[in-house]
């Protein structure tokens, strides 16, 4: 809905809200972060590693050397297939970071033929061995979307929760969406809001936007609170989120009285302090 600032008569706020809600309901799923997340690097890495020395140690059977030699090859696009081979050797010896990185490559088809079923198995192996964060997020996303096997929303929710507790902002956001929609797991809007706020505390623009979506979806939409959350999302200057937040604000503003605008500004400050 395009609104001119010079329009003589203010549009009906109810119609603006109704039109906005249609768009927002469609926008929420887009904020389940897509794409595998790279695993964090191991705690210790070789200082200025010599590739030939790494290769010799890798050929000698050292899982750590195999991983680091693969990591070296992984930085060279033309060597990704060889990198996958060495990650596979390290993964076969139970090297968690190698399992996660190889799973990511298989999930994406990055330098090798995609194999989402094997990617799921490797993520699961790494998680069973203690991998957290990105590995859990990546597997949860595959389970939620049904890639590489059947959908399992309950297990996806469990993995998102574990990753979120470990500090993964996108996992917290995605868990919030599952709960808010009661999509295959017990929850509800209040439970979803808890996790959206957790993601927002870590600065994720998607979460600020989704908090605005929640307020617009209340039985009695709170457009001042929604305006505040959308404004905070816009401040993050995220290339994907900012245009949606800007459009949401434009759709809301025709229904904003001076009193509501004043309240929205006050809520912006309140929300900043609460995060």
User: Are the beta carbons of 133 and 40 closer than 8 angstroms?
Assistant: yes
- The pTM score is 0.83
Q: Residue 184: what pLDDT?
A: 65
98 vs 157: CA distance, rounded Å: 25
Phi then psi dihedrals of residue 53, to 5 deg: -65, -40
Over residues 46-71, the pLDDT tens digits come to: 666 789 999 999 999 999 999 999 99
Phi then psi dihedrals of residue 95, to 5 deg: -75, 115
Over residues 8-40, the pLDDT tens digits come to: 333 343 444 444 554 554 344 334 454 556 554
Over residues 202-224, the pLDDT tens digits come to: 999 999 999 999 999 999 999 99
Tokens 């799921």 belong to which residue?
A: 120
Query: For residue 2, is pLDDT > 50?
Result: no
Nearest to 98 by CA among 119, 74, 67, 76: 67
Structure tokens at 70: 């693969």
Q: What is the DSSP letter of 7?
A: -
Contacts of 252 (CB under 8 A, 6+ apart): 16, 17, 20, 223, 226, 227, 230
Tell me whether residue 247 is exposed, middle or buried, using C-beta atoms within 10 angstroms of its C-beta: 0 to 12, 13 to 18, 19 or more: middle
247 vs 234: CA distance, rounded Å: 10
């Amino acid at each position: 809905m395009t609104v001119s600032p010079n329009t003589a008569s203010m549009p009906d706020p109810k119609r603006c809200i109704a039109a906005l809600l249609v768009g927002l309901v469609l926008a929420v799923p887009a904020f389940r972060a897509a794409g595998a997340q790279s695993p964090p690097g191991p705690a210790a890495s070789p200082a200025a590693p010599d590739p030939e020395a790494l290769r010799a140690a890798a050929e000698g059977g050292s899982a750590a050397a195999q991983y680091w030699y693969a990591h070296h090859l992984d930085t060279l696009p033309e060597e990704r297939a060889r990198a996958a081979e060495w990650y596979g050797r390290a993964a076969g010896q139970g090297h968690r970071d190698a399992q996660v990185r190889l799973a990511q490559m298989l999930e994406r088809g990055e330098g090798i033929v995609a194999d989402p079923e094997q990617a799921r198995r490797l993520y699961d192996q790494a998680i069973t061995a203690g991998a957290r964060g990105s590995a859990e997020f990546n597997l949860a996303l595959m389970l939620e979307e049904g890639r590489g096997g059947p959908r399992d929303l309950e297990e996806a929710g469990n993995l998102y929760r574990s990753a979120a507790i470990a500090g993964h902002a996108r996992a917290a956001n995605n868990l919030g969406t599952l709960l808010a929609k009661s999509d295959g797991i017990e929850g509800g809007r209040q439970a979803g809001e808890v996790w959206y706020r957790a993601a927002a505390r870590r600065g994720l623009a998607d979460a600020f936007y989704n908090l605005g979506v929640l307020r617009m979806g209340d039985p009695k939409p709170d457009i001042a609170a929604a305006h505040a959350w959308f404004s905070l999302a816009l401040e993050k200057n995220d290339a994907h989120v900012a245009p949606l937040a800007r459009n949401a604000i434009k759709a809301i503003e025709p229904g904003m009285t001076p009193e509501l605008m004043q309240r929205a500004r006050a809520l912006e400050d309140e929300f900043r302090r609460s995060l």
